[in-house]
Structure 1
């Protein structure tokens, strides 16, 4: 709460409508890469997906070169290098660490922080527009000075409009990184929403965009003017809420915190392999590792699962016949036991794998989740609970690092800079990984005084 608050102001603030504040880091992954490497500031930087496959993040300079997200790196590498583009592997440890620092700082400025993703959070402002704008400007300056990450802020009466205002702040330099939707409306009126394609509205995906466009809804303004009841009847209650939000009526409830919120439907662990995997024996190694990772998340949130689903697929672009397999195992009793769940994952694909297919991706999904403490049933039908192995594995990982101890390949640790992953040949490659300056003693940044 601002320092100059006093009780005499309480009545005035009680009459104000709370405003949603969305703080979103600019080009977060790419910005993180320049925090400990200032030479990258202002240069075209791209961050690549697992195994250095596709572009997943771009600095402003890279965007100006026309590089699109999702572009395979091997297709543009030669031209990108001629253009001076710097490519980096995804440095998840660094990004998560800087995100935590950024969120901790922002939580000191406004109440009710809701971390929506690794680079953005919602907060609430109970102040008038002038005071809110000053607080948000101070927030931006503090995050940039303390963490080195540029942030844009949008303020509006609903979350959806706060998203629109945030994009406005990013795309209009005159806003100085902070946009109040009330000011945009006063200046531009309906032209503001008319300039936003319906595809860019929060919650409107690619499929829904095509359906809406076929009905003549092309912009956010068109969607705002649509009949909410008709949108619900024809599409979904979620779209009805979006229409209400665009009209200034809050209709989206607070969601789980992305920094540690529990998953209520399913827990997924999926990866691309660094090289194709052939045969059930090697594929089951990966499934065992992914099952243990998913099981660790299951224990952290205090849940049980009663169904384990697995899948794998080959590359649709590689020569030869495309192959994709999936299977599931229903557990006799809900469980959080890593041995039971790892065995179930292996069993789910047994006999289904094409022995000649070159699989490049696999995943494990834990489904039918329920709260472990609240699970009650008849005597003799209790959950198949972990007897202590899971917590022991978690403690070993916490104290000595991942893959020091595990089941099967879950206990085979990589070497060198890959020691955070399993030592299998199919483990993820990150050949252009920058230093993990905030989480590894041997990779800390060195500062020279001159």
Structure 2
């Protein structure tokens, strides 16, 4: 008997987290906004029922949304990460082989048959709901792609009570079960592939399952061929590193939009320093070195008063490094010469390129890597872990602003989160207060 794969996915995760510590939001439409309170990135079911779409700029719908009783919240990443870790811990107790795919979903492997697996998944779902207050949908199937489809089926069909076994769905609905899934909703089929597949007359998951796999591999890729096989019930997508612990093999990027434009290089170098240190922290965490440092910044494409400016430059390092001093300096040097002090920049970022494993890097004597031998990175990590993020850093990157809206520094350009809810699980001064009556 083929092993069953389980996909557990939290429903409207960001919005659900907001409702956990504020029960008054449970029966109200809730939306969570992106960085700088820009666009809608998450919606509660009641917000979806109002027709609010992800990606909608908040300023465009704010007036009508307020009339409809919509509650908006800034992205509370600290709260969501904490709730995610607790949710994954609970689910990992019920089934083995947990693979955290994203902040709100994970794959698990069941050693049991269909009936036992459904029973265990129902208990797991109940444990998450009662322990955290987060509703979860579960899809069970012989492949990851079908488990994804089963998971969406569980969300869309309340009669499933949050758990769907794909074999039962196929037995009841036949080919119509896959025919009801648009091609763009199949895991691994993006927007670009959707247009090409539709041009060939492949408009739903059933069409893709029945397509000639050789043609798919020849005209598209072996990756899409695997999707065809997965839709046929053949498990052929390997497990990936956990999203929380995953190792980046190509590049590490840290990028943000500013809450207000930056005009001088002094401010830009402050931002680049902060982003470089964040990227270096990820680099150290996965035990890698980088060979090149890229930095970029851009003005607003919607500012008609000035021409659009986009700067991007990559500097090679003399030797692979994980030293935050070397990487911060390289990021600033990359944009120093092309920087236009008259322009107003609204975003910037740092990219660490050419990643190599620190333990495997070997070269000739005298050409060794510029590793962080003074241990500065480790000291920064330990201090920030003990006393909170951005308590210490390189240059301006170590100055933390006051108030719960300032995560990185006290600079005026740091991310605006005017609608931030309390970080009840990670901050003593923001813990939820419960009063008995």
Q: TM-score range by the shorter chain?
A: over 0.9
The one of 416, 422, 428 equivalent to 2:415 is 428
1:113 positional shift = 0.3
1:318 positional shift = 2.6
The one of 206, 219, 238 equivalent to 2:204 is 219
Decide which moves more: 280-289 or 296-305: 280-289
1:276 aligned residue:
261
CA separation in 2, counterparts of 1:409 and 1:240? Answer: 50
1:55 aligned residue:
40
CA separation in 2, counterparts of 1:204 and 1:400? Answer: 43
1:307 aligned residue:
292
SS of corresponding position for 1:153: strand
Decide which moves more: 306-315 or 413-422: 413-422
CA separation in 1, counterparts of 2:405 and 2:184? Answer: 39
1:159 aligned residue:
144
The one of 365, 369, 393 equivalent to 1:379 is 365
1:8 aligned residue:
none
CA separation in 2, counterparts of 1:195 and 1:146? Answer: 34
8 A Cα contact 1:93 1:436, kept in partner: yes
Give me the CA root mean square deviation. 1.0
SS of corresponding position for 1:23: strand
CA separation in 1, counterparts of 2:337 and 2:185? Answer: 44
1:295-345, Cα deviation, whole Å (9 max, x unpaired): 011011111000111111222223232221111111010000000000111
Kindly indicate whether residue 238 of structure 2 is the aligned counterpart of residue 253 of structure 1.
Answer: yes
SS of corresponding position for 2:404: helix
Matches within 5 A, 1:326-341: 326-341=312-327
CA separation in 1, counterparts of 2:341 and 2:225? Answer: 48
Kindly indicate whether residue 342 of structure 2 is the aligned counterpart of residue 356 of structure 1.
Answer: yes
1:419 positional shift = 4.6
The one of 309, 313, 326 equivalent to 1:323 is 309
2:165 aligned residue:
180
2:181 aligned residue:
196
Decide which moves more: 235-244 or 434-443: 235-244
CA separation in 1, counterparts of 2:376 and 2:28? Answer: 48
1:424 positional shift = 1.1
The one of 106, 112, 119 equivalent to 1:127 is 112
CA separation in 1, counterparts of 2:224 and 2:322? Answer: 36
8 A Cα contact 1:335 1:386, kept in partner: yes
CA separation in 1, counterparts of 2:115 and 2:428? Answer: 44
Query: Which blocks of at least 5 consecutive residues in structure 1 are unaligned?
Result: 1-15
2:433 aligned residue:
446
1:389 aligned residue:
376
1:356 positional shift = 2.4
Decide which moves more: 79-88 or 322-331: 322-331
Matches within 5 A, 1:77-156: 77-156=62-141
1:41 aligned residue:
26
1:255-278, Cα deviation, whole Å (9 max, x unpaired): 010111211111111111010111
CA separation in 2, counterparts of 1:367 and 1:190? Answer: 46
1:141-172, Cα deviation, whole Å (9 max, x unpaired): 11000011000000001000000000000000
8 A Cα contact 1:17 1:126, kept in partner: no
CA separation in 2, counterparts of 1:214 and 1:280? Answer: 49
1:120 positional shift = 0.1
CA separation in 2, counterparts of 1:436 and 1:421? Answer: 15
| TM-score normalised by L of structure 1 | 0.95
1:183-209, Cα deviation, whole Å (9 max, x unpaired): 110011111111111100111111111
1:21 positional shift = 0.1
Q: Structure 1: which 4+ aligned runs deviate by more than 4 Å?
A: none
Q: How many residues end up aligned between the 2 structures?
A: 435
1:361 positional shift = 1.1
